[in-house]
Chains A and B, each alone.
Chain A
């Protein structure tokens, strides 16, 4: 199957005054459509940097990144914003809902930056359907302060899907939730993955979260430890991904 995400020898180096800090040292990986992948790594491993690159929030120092067949690494800031709007849905650890704004309005928010303008009525209908999908059809007019953590995260998931992106990028989505709610949220990701054929990348440091995923990519010290290639080859035990790519 044609990969949805294809990273080839991605490197990211931060320049702090005279100091060069290499964070990603040559990442190569593939993710095909319909995968539920966990991106794991300890803090400082480069996991977050990799996620920012995958989410088109940042650009690599070198390397190739093809998203849905489109080369991303050379795009300008505005072009990347457009890619984010169309291809990627974000779910954050701290939900990041707009305060004092109803759940429905929160879900609608990303639509205002989408290039294809949907009529107000249709947009509302789509948002309502998504809230229904995450089981909050009776909470549409509630503001975040009136919702529990799990409910807030579900609103955030509905929001991430409003522009119908092929990829959902979740950054520690259960980090602020208790274990029972976490399980519910993770089951929701699984359901979305199975029912909607949505490609989901869960960034986490939690082993229990990773257990819900079909595949685990482990990052360590700026390199991929295992799981660089899902369906193409079985996860490697240990290795230098750069070599594999070459």
Chain B
């Protein structure tokens, strides 16, 4: 160790003997490392920003769908079974530690009217305030979300997306006003921020959010979707006429008169969908397991029975998240590699020149007792010290550039400790790899010829 320190000192002295050339040699490494550090910081900043964006789109989101009904050999597709209840959502949020929010959702559709304006929103979602958290809509642009009390009492309130605001309230003042949905008056208590189109190109702002109870029990169009399962039968497929339905009719189909007389004979407690968000995108698999176990228990499923629900993460988004992160990492690796090679070739070049130029010195050192390996060690150490010095300067320079970008150009940057550690390791490695050949060449010189070299 002591010997190594001494060699390092000797190398430093040798490098100091030709400061200008040392600086020029190290320039390749300095620029390379500076580029890596600056790019790592800018890249990490941008990557963080992009990740934040993707998270906002709901990378932590989990969808719990009810299972499919199989009717007379005909599957009716996901969501046709009424297996999810609102209590399930509450239980998921309460009992699954890796789930932060769980919101039951019922869909409805219909025309929303305000004064002379009307509009058919893409989505009419009956839910709880957790929904707005999951979809990253908190805080609202204006107003408030609905309270527990409002959910419990099926209060006639709603929150509107920007598209609805544009079409129904050209003046822009919507808060406190009343809109009509299927002849039910809903007071506007909140306005959502603009989200724009989602990945599929659907307008995410074309939405009306209301307490699920309101949609479920007050809005007529909120029922048929779930009620459909109870009134399976005629008209879905012509095969029904060939093979009459054998499954038990769960509910008697009310006649037109009955429907008119008793508008809501059964209270359905079933949700179309439960939307959850995991505590973090890393915990999605854990959250899925927990939800799975909880719902199986709640639905009294035996080991032999399959799930009457499905839990799905938004794979596309989480994939995008990992892809983005990997892309950034690979990009940086590419830059680091190029700078490594360019800087290294420069080092090798100058070290070869240096060996030639210092042939007599090498001869002299050998004459006074230096062995080949002493010379090898010395030149190797010189190139490593050179690279480390260059690396240190490069880190400082890169840090400066990144700071400049952040302060003056408002670019998002983040200090990357990993990049700094990698930069130091890479500089030492470059010194070692590209310094080896010149050092080896020096160590193989014949002292007699080296001393006589002109």
Chain A positions near chain B (C-beta within 8 angstroms)? 52, 55, 57-58, 77-78, 81-82, 84-86, 89-90, 92, 96, 98-101, 105, 109-110, 112-114, 117, 159-160, 163
Contacts and interface: CB of A to CB of B under 8 A. Distances in A.
Interface of B: 2-3, 6-7, 10, 13, 17-18, 360-361, 363-374, 447-448, 451
A114 B6 CA distance: 13
B371 A77 contact: yes
Nearest to A77: B372
Given A52-B448, A57-B447, A92-B451, A99 B366 contact: no
B365 A85 contact: no
A245 B378 CA distance: 44
25 contacts: A57-B367, A81-B369, A81-B370, A81-B371, A81-B372, A82-B369, A84-B367, A85-B368, A86-B369, A90-B368, A92-B364, A96-B363, A99-B17, A100-B18, A109-B365, A109-B368, A110-B369, A112-B6, A112-B7, A113-B365, A113-B369, A113-B370, A117-B3, A159-B368, A163-B368
A31 to B, nearest CB: 19
Contact of A84 (B3, B17, B369, B372): B369
A99 B6 CA distance: 19
A90 B368 CA distance: 7
Most interface-central of A55, A58, A113 (chain B CB within 10 A):
A113
B371 A78 contact: yes
A81 B366 contact: yes
Contacts of B10: 112
Given A112-B6, A163-B369, A96 B364 contact: yes
B453 to A, nearest CB: 11
Nearest to A160: B368
A85 B17 contact: no
Contact of B360 (A86, A96, A101, A109): A96
A67 B364 CA distance: 21
A156 B3 CA distance: 24
A55 B372 contact: no
A99 to B, nearest CB: 7
Given A101-B13, A112-B6, A117-B2, A96 B371 contact: no
A29 to B, nearest CB: 20
A55 B371 contact: no
Contacts of A78: 371-373
A96 B360 CA distance: 7
A85 B374 CA distance: 13
Contacts of B364: 90, 92, 96, 98
B2 to A, nearest CB: 7
Nearest to B366: A81
